[in-house]
Amino acid sequence: MTPPEKSQVQLTPARLFANPPLAGTTPSDFKFSPDADFLFFRRAAADDRQRFDLWKVDTTSGEKSLYVDARSLLHTSTDITDLTDAERAERERKRQFSHGITDYFWRSNHHQLIIIIDGQAFLVDTHEVDSQPQHLCPSGSRQSGFQCSPRGSYLSYVRSNNLYICDFVGHETQLTADDDPLLCNGLPDFLAAEEMHRFEGHWWSQDETYLVYCKVDESPVKSSFRMEVDAMGARTIEQRYPHAGEPNPAVELWHVDLATSAHKRIWQSDDQTEYLARVLCSHGEIIIQTQDRRQQRLDIMRYAESAESAESWQLIHQQSSDTWINLTDDLRFIDDGSILYSSEQDGTRKLYTLTFDAKQSTTQALIGPQHINRVLHASNRCAYAMGWDTDASQNHMYKLDFVESRYDQITATVGWHEVIICAAHNLYLDCVSNETQPEKISLHGLSPDKTPHQIFAEKIDRDHPYAPYLPNHVTSIYAQFPAQDGQPLYYRLTPPSQIEGQHATVVYVYGGPGAQKVRRQWSPLLVQLFAQNGFGVLEIDNRGSGNRGSQFEAPLYKAMGSIEVVDQVAGLSILTDHAWADLSRVGIYGHSYGGYMSLMCLAQAPQAFKAGVAVAPVSDWALYDSHYTERYMGLPDENVSAYHNANVLSHLDKLSQPLLLMHGMADDNVLFTHSTMIMSKLQHLGKPFELMTYPGAKHSMQETEISIHRFDMILDFFERHLT
């Protein structure tokens, strides 16, 4: 896409975060109907970027229509204060900042949709014209953790820390009855959801005869108290936050027989298996993945349905690492009863099959691309997976043929692809964009004889909300440079929209493990905000970043805030090849780990950065949660010097550049304490800084008014200190 001539219309935070959304109302969360005649998807309303409605599209004609308007189902206020603590935690962990229809899924073996809105579930028959939604949960209640059973007989959910099921004719059954507020049944604990990305807390057997569920006991976690400040004042919040080196919640896995209502505990966390990472119920068996406290060992365990005691667990595979093991959702049963899993034991992620019986197990490596990041589907003949082979800034779908021992790249367009597969009907949906093309969504056949059918294309015509700003849209430059150890570091450089002489550059950083910023996609509008306000923007995925494999991530081990700074500073040499870039005017901005990186770069490389903005930064890793911190830093008592070196406070005496510090005053992830420690240390050192705190805001600070104010402040700060 070639933008027209430059315009005087300048992108502002007020417009970027207002309605209608500048990015348009791009469909998301696609799901095929059982017969694949329709695709359903969620889409932001044109008048409210945070309210999602449900749409459908005919897979033959491509005709789209609004299927369920969220306003028709809203019975109570969607204001955040109406959410239960469990719902609020669930949304925060999933980074779900919208309202309206927050989830939907098919009732198995039926042409019926279950729609989740406002803590309630509604059933809609898609084969009935003008079908009226059926309310499934008790009126006046709020639930979370919804799941449909495999055969479609039941809906399960959690209310007030207890697990319930209901059939679809209004009969509800309570499965657990704990009234201790520190016990929760059927939901993941904080560490599982926030750090392991395990959002489930209960699982159905394939034949619906039993459920397995987590029972989480928070009592071992020490109580800590934090001040939570909002517009109405301050209050003290007791929070059982599992700090690094401190006790974690006790997690148990229980089995409940639906016919007899008999419950039995089948697994519990202990010193050897601290974390319940994944659970899989299929083929009449229960398979779990567990990790030790240091996350250097991952066990795959098998529990047969007929087992009578915890001693019946069979270890069928074990992985180990000298650094840490990343978790994935790749574990799944194949048609022949074997298991597909992935491992980074050779430096990048590959796929393996695991066969086992009561006595032994065997593994076999599969031929595939250089790195796999997500399995889409697997049978006993092949697997489809996302990943990359030669360019980590792109994402493609690959077919791994088990029989012929070969792999093929299926998606062809240069860019970043996300794919949804409907294997039962030999179809896949491809969502792709690149630096010159906004998102396109098209329907393809898994066999090449089917003609692709375009479902959606983001066309920025004169009626599109982004049209006034398109003339100033900047096409980013993608390339790479070598790190000190020779590994390629990818970067995205976005020049200023209108170049007049030399310009300042903002290094937009995250830098932490598990994340990847440099993706060959249509430019994020936040990057365009900086570019259209006169700044160049440089983004670098330093060593330790995600989607590159353990070999690329390992240099960060027990050395947070060191190797990342080296790579970010080295990347500034890129700017010497661009006449518009003034290397004496480079700023740095980041949020969360990016805020931590802003502070570490300012303190450790004062010659490179003239000013910086740190939003919700970690200051002392001993104050962050156990699973995340110990994965990369080891246990605090065993690595005292490493924790000291990774502590922002240890380096603030070297900070001399202008700093803008921002934090939400109700943050329950990176606690506000992190910033108060920074404030106190800087004041003790006699160092000036600018500060903006946001009452009521949690870690992500996604509220419209807060987003506008925050980026107005950031732009003003950089304009004052870099221009």
Classify 143 as helix, strand or coil.
Answer: coil
How far is 240 from 222, CA to CA, in rounded Å? 6
Classify 376 as helix, strand or coil.
Answer: strand
| Nearest Cα residue to 212 out of 311, 279, 145, 143 | 279
User: Three-state SS string across 36-85, please?
Assistant: CCEEEEEEEECCEEEEEEEEEEECCCCCEEEEECHHHCCCCCCCHHHCCH
Q: Torsions phi, psi of 224, nearest 5?
A: -125, 155
Residue 652: how many CA atoms within 13 Å on its side-chain side? Answer: 21
Alpha carbon of 376 to those of 258, 346, 384, 421, 456: distances in Å?
31, 22, 5, 7, 22
H-run or E-run covering 601: helix 593-604
Question: One of 663, 699, 709, 721 is an active-site residue; which one?
Answer: 699
| Nearest Cα residue to 275 out of 669, 630, 618, 637 | 630
Classify 598 as helix, strand or coil.
Answer: helix
How far is 149 from 133, CA to CA, in rounded Å? 20
Per the annotation, the verdict on 35 as an active-site residue is: no
Beta carbons within 8 Å of 332's beta carbon, 6+ residues apart: 280, 339, 340, 375, 378
User: Three-state SS string across 450-503, please?
Assistant: CCCEEEEECCCCCCCCCHHHHHHCCCCEEEEEECCCCCEEEEEEECCCCCCCCE
As given in the structure block, the two tokens for residue 721 are 């200190």
Question: One of 667, 674, 707, 709 is an active-site residue; which one?
Answer: 667
State the virtual CA torsion across 670, 700, 98, 444 in degrees, nearest 10: -100
H-run or E-run covering 629: helix 626-633
* Residue that is written with structure tokens 């692709």 in the block: 452
| Nearest Cα residue to 83 out of 709, 707, 698 | 698
How far is 582 from 498, CA to CA, in rounded Å? 15
Alpha carbon of 357 to those of 314, 332, 361, 722: distances in Å?
10, 16, 6, 65
Question: One of 523, 592, 626, 707 is an active-site residue; which one?
Answer: 592
Bridge partners (DSSP) of residue 243 are 625
How far is 622 from 242, CA to CA, in rounded Å? 10
User: What angle is formed at CA 196 by the lines to CA 193 and CA 199, rounded to 5 degrees?
Assistant: 35
DSSP for 630-647 reads HHHH--GGG-HHHHHHT-
As given in the structure block, the two tokens for residue 172 are 């509800």
How far is 137 from 121, CA to CA, in rounded Å? 6
Per the annotation, the verdict on 699 as an active-site residue is: yes
Residue type, 370: Q
Classify 611 as helix, strand or coil.
Answer: strand
Per the annotation, the verdict on 503 as an active-site residue is: no
Alpha carbon of 617 to those of 99, 394, 537: distances in Å?
27, 29, 21
Q: 437, 21 in Cβ contact below 8 A? A: no
Q: Which residues are catalytic?
A: 592, 667, 699
